[in-house]
Amino acid sequence: MRIAVAGGTGVVGRHAVEAARAAGHDVVVLSRAKGADVATGVGLVDALQGADAVIDVTNTTTLSRVKAVVFFETATRNLLDAEARAGVGHHVALSIVGIDGIDSSYYAGKLAQERAVAAGSVPFTIARAAQFHEFAGQLLARMSGPLAVMPKLLMRPVAAREVGEHLVRVASGAAVGRARDLVGPRDEVLLDVARRQLAFDGERRRVLGVRLPGAYGKGLASGSLRGGPDALQGVATFDEWLGSEDHVREE
């Protein structure tokens, strides 16, 4: 199969690309650095020629509800338009486990993405995953200085490598609308994993936990992001991931 990975240079995207190549698929990577922009549509139709499936793992890091909704709706619309013109038969969107009751901030954008995918004309599968083991590091990298602040977040994190492999399995099957959720093997608390990561890396930064206000903060602290009993479960624990070559330390 020819599989296009939109966002294939990102944290989960590069694992999806690696997994697709390892499974013998022909892979196309879409990202702005490679001349394809999901926000403007530039370069998409050309890049998707001959593709059988598209995995969308593009991202924006905003916490603004308006910006998140605009990004994910626009990106989805542009991708689906280009897929329809290029004859792509399966759109796979990566979303986040347990966000249904949290129509706020960044998650409002993800819910808008899911609605746009479902309303489109391309057969689709929405695959939700829990926070990645890489998530604490992504947040830490966005904060400079000796003090970092983490929202109170109850999660069940999973290795981005396992999410990438899951997305390739989903993309190489039939479009089913909604895939089973994928979560990690253990319950964790974001503040705690951030501290363990800094200790493992020998970084002397302090991390404080804060409870964010509003529906977003309530949702993060509620435990709903850990998913339910029917979810598929990843194998690597956070501490196993920390000691693996997939844990890239910030220089």
Ligand X SMILES: NC(=O)c1ccc[n+]([C@@H]2O[C@H](COP(=O)([O-])OP(=O)(O)OC[C@H]3O[C@@H](n4cnc5c(N)ncnc54)[C@H](OP(=O)(O)O)[C@@H]3O)[C@@H](O)[C@H]2O)c1
| Contacting residues toward ligand X, per CB under 6 A | 7, 9-13, 30-33, 36-39, 57-59, 94, 96, 110, 129, 131-132, 135, 138
Contact 173, 89 (CB under 8 A): no
Nearest to ligand X of 68, 122 (CB atom): 68
C-alpha torsion sign, points 199, 152, 212, 104: positive
Question: Residue ranges of the alpha helices (H) in the chain?
Answer: 13-22, 44-47, 65-86, 105-119, 135-142, 160-172, 190-201, 214-222, 238-242
- Least separation in angstroms between residue 145's CB and ligand X is 22
Nearest to ligand X of 94, 179 (CB atom): 94
Hey, what amino acid is at 229? P
HSE value, Cβ hemisphere, 13 Å, CA-based, for 36: 25
- Least separation in angstroms between residue 204's CB and ligand X is 25
Q: Which residues pair with 189 in a beta bridge?
A: 154
Nearest to 196 by CA among 131, 241, 162: 241
Nearest to ligand X of 164, 204 (CB atom): 164
Nearest to ligand X of 28, 36 (CB atom): 36
Beta strand pairing call for 154-155 and 188-189: antiparallel
Nearest to ligand X of 124, 132 (CB atom): 132
Nearest to ligand X of 8, 217 (CB atom): 8
- Least separation in angstroms between residue 125's CB and ligand X is 14
Nearest to 52 by CA among 77, 75, 83, 24: 83
- Least separation in angstroms between residue 131's CB and ligand X is 4
- Least separation in angstroms between residue 203's CB and ligand X is 20
- Least separation in angstroms between residue 181's CB and ligand X is 10
For the chain, the 3-state helix, strand and coil shares in percent, each to the nearest 5, are 40, 20, 40
